[in-house]
């Protein structure tokens, strides 16, 4: 599962795939049903899913990709909890998905967000190998004519 081109935009629901980049902005497309495209400028807070980690009780944090892989294993064995399930069930599940996570710094809202993101990403690219995903293209900035 390639998370390098999938981002979360602060203040906007869902996840987005980076279509193109320039020095000042991104062109992104929603990976959920409507495929809406929009421009994201440098002032907006953006989190690339590949760079997100989860706090642990040790010094080394767990990458989101590892948590998603553990969720995929559990999904193949049975079912995952829903983000709307009982918080106790979600915390029990995260003991498997993110072994050693720090319960004092990883809140239930973070866990629900990760479950929701996993559902979106797995429906976007269910079994697609990472090598076959198209890479984002660079936008050439043309100098303004005077």
Looking up residue 82, the CATH number of its domain turns out to be 1.10.10.1650
The model's pTM is: 0.79
Query: Reduced to 3 states, what is the DSSP secondary structure of residue 37?
Result: strand
CA dihedral 123, 125, 128, 129 (to 10 degrees): -130
What does the pLDDT read at residue 123? 85
Is the pLDDT higher at 134 or at 49? 49
In-domain check, residue 139: no
Do 39 and 62 lie in one domain? The reply is: no
- pLDDT (tens digit per residue) in 57-90: 998 999 999 999 999 999 998 888 999 999 999 9
**Percentage of the chain surpassing pLDDT 70?**
84
What does the pLDDT read at residue 144? 45
Looking at residue 16, the DSSP 8-state letter turns out to be: E
* Number of alpha carbons in the 13 Å side-chain half-sphere of residue 126: 3
Range(s) of the domain holding residue 42: 6-49
- pLDDT (tens digit per residue) in 80-125: 899 999 999 999 999 999 999 999 999 999 999 999 999 999 887 6
Paired residues of 46 in beta bridges: 9
Do 45 and 57 lie in one domain? The reply is: no
Looking at residue 129, the DSSP 8-state letter turns out to be: -
What does the pLDDT read at residue 37? 92
> Phi and psi (nearest 5°) for 74?
-65, -35
Do 15 and 66 lie in one domain? The reply is: no
Do 15 and 32 lie in one domain? The reply is: yes
Q: How confident is the model at residue 1 (pLDDT cuts 50, 70, 90)?
A: low
What average pLDDT does range 117-139 have in this prediction? 59
Do residues 51 and 5 make contact, with C-beta atoms less than 8 angstroms apart? no
> Phi and psi (nearest 5°) for 65?
-60, -40
Do 101 and 66 lie in one domain? The reply is: yes
In-domain check, residue 85: yes
Do 58 and 115 lie in one domain? The reply is: yes
Average pLDDT in the chain: 84
Structural domains counted in the chain: 2
Do 110 and 75 lie in one domain? The reply is: yes
Do 89 and 33 lie in one domain? The reply is: no
Query: Reduced to 3 states, what is the DSSP secondary structure of residue 79?
Result: coil
How far CA 120 is from CA of 78, 88, 96, 115, 145, in Å, comes to 18, 23, 20, 9, 43
In-domain check, residue 35: yes
Do residues 45 and 81 make contact, with C-beta atoms less than 8 angstroms apart? no
């Amino acid at each position: 599962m390639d998370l390098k081109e999938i981002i979360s935009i602060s203040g906007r629901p869902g996840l987005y795939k980076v279509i193109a980049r320039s020095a000042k902005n991104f062109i992104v497309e929603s990976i959920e049903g409507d495929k809406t495209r929009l421009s994201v400028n440098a002032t907006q807070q953006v989190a690339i899913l590949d760079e997100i980690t989860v706090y642990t009780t040790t010094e080394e944090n767990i990458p989101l990709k590892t948590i998603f892989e553990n969720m995929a294993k559990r999904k193949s064995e049975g079912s995952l909890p829903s983000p709307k399930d009982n918080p106790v069930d979600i915390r029990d599940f995260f003991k498997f998905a993110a072994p050693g996570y720090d319960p004092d710094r990883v809140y239930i809202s973070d866990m629900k967000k990760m479950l929701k993101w996993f559902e979106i990403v797995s429906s976007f690219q269910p079994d697609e190998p990472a090598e076959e995903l198209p890479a984002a293209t660079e936008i050439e900035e043309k100098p303004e004519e005077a």
